[in-house]
Every structure is written in structure tokens, then in C-alpha cells.
Structure 1
Amino acid sequence: MKFLVRFFFKTLRTVLGPAMLLKEALTRPQGVVRSEAGQQAVNQACNALALYQYKTCPFCIKVRQEMRRLSLPITQVDAQPEGPARAALVQQGGHAKVPCLKITDESGKSHWLYDSEKIITYLRSHFAQVA
């Protein structure tokens, strides 16, 4: 039974994935324009962030669209295939759930933020007002 469920979702991703990526590309929002100093500050702050995501996950697409709207150069890590990125997400974050924003503070300690709405709220609260 587990095999059939996985096969179904893999087939669904294969069929719908390209359409979802095309829609994302066609509906790309215009990014905010900041002063050069403001954008440099944002770029520096984004060095401490990484988005663990799947390319065709609708919730991940929603977060990526918000990142574009806010002009945020956040590192995107594909955690869908088995490998070191997925292992880090599970071992350090605790769940193999995406989207997940890894936030590293000045001391090097990481906080893992799950749920697209929480991630978008975090991004807006930290970057929407930077001029």
C-alpha cells in the first residue's frame, strides 16, 4: 500500500510539477527597490538564512514568491532527494517537512522555522521595512 501511495504522488509531481513551475515563472512578482545601502544590509542579513524546500511544493512556491517580492537573496536548498541536505533538515530541524527556514544567529546557533505562513510573517517583519 505504501508503494502505491508513493507511486501516486511521484506521478502527480511528474505531471503537475512543470505546470506549477511555469505558473511560478509567469506570475513572478516585482521586487521592492531599496537604496543601495539598504539592499546591502538585506543581503548581509540573508547570509544567515537558508530555505529548505522542494521545487514543486505549492507552499514552497508561495514562500519563494514572497522572497522575490521582498528582493531577498536567500539560499535555497533542495531537500527533496535523499542526501546531505535532507539529512541536515531531519537531524538538525527535527522534521522532513518543507518549507523550512534555517535562521542562524550571530553565535552560530540555528533555529528552524516551519510552515509557509510563519516563514512569510518572519520575512515581512524583518525585511519589509528596510529601505
Structure 2
Amino acid sequence: MSLTRQLKGKALDLVDRIVPVRPLERSQDEQMLLDRESRRMHLYFTRNCPSSISVRRQCQRLGLKVVEKDVLRVNAYRNELVNGGGVPRVPCLRIEDEKGGRWLYSPDTILEYLKNRY
């Protein structure tokens, strides 16, 4: 990882911790359904990855309560990522649905999915 990317990641992590995200306003029933649905999504991320931070903030902005798994802090999460998705790359969004599970790796793909779905 380049020095510039590391510095950008650390700066964005600091901003992420300081500046809160304001979620969309929804009715209580809508939010309850969304919470239930979003619990079936797992976001694998690292705190110093700029792409991971942008995906996490977008999930927060949409009011999604995805299960967040920091792969640098917990080795079991990294193992899940490698064994399930096949690639140890973050950000990764695992979506559990009727068909099984899908693994989305590209930040652009993840953001596009979230935009179209929610």
C-alpha cells in the first residue's frame, strides 16, 4: 500500500470518527423492515482503507444496520472472507438471500447495489 493511500486512510478514519453521518428519515415501520433486511448483510472492512470508509458511511447514510467485520482486528473475519469469497480484499459486502450468498468486492459495485436497492 502506498504512503499516500495510508495517509489518506488515516485522515479519513479520523474524520469518520469525528464527523457523524446523518441517516435518512424513514417511518418506524420502514426502518424496522430495513433493519431486519440489512442484518443479512456483512461488510468486511478495515479502518484505514478509504474505500471501506466510504462504503461504511454510505450504509450509515442509508440507515442500514449491516454487520460490520473489521478483518484487521479479528482473524476469524479475515478467514471468513478468504474461505467464503475467495479473495482477502476489502471492502467486501456479503449479502445473504434466498439464493444463498453473494460477495461484492468492488466499492463501485457495492455502492451501486446500495443505491439501486435502497
What is the TM-score when the length of structure 1 is the normalising length? 0.78
Distance 2:105 2:97 in 1: 17
Q: Does 1:124 align with 2:103?
A: no
2:33 is matched by which residue type in structure 1?
A
2:112 is matched by which residue type in structure 1?
T
Whether the aligned pair in 1 keeps the contact of 2:9 and 2:50 (CA below 8 Å) is: no
> Which structure is larger by alpha-carbon Rg, 1 or 2?
1
2:62 is matched by which residue type in structure 1?
L
Distance 1:63 1:35 in 2: 24
Whether the aligned pair in 2 keeps the contact of 1:28 and 1:68 (CA below 8 Å) is: no
Count of residue pairs the alignment pairs up: 117
Counterparts of 1:24-63 in structure 2 under 5 Å?
24-63=16-55
Partner of 2:103: 112
Counterparts of 1:23-102 in structure 2 under 5 Å?
23-81=15-73, 83-102=75-94
Q: Please provide the CA RMSD for this pair.
A: 2.3
Shift of 1:28: 3.4
Shift of 1:78: 0.8
Structure 2 unaligned segments of length 5 or more: list them: none
> 1:72-91 CA deviation, whole Å, 9 max, x = no partner?
11110011256211111011
> 1:45-93 CA deviation, whole Å, 9 max, x = no partner?
1011000000110000010111111111111001125621111101110
Structure 1 unaligned segments of length 5 or more: list them: none
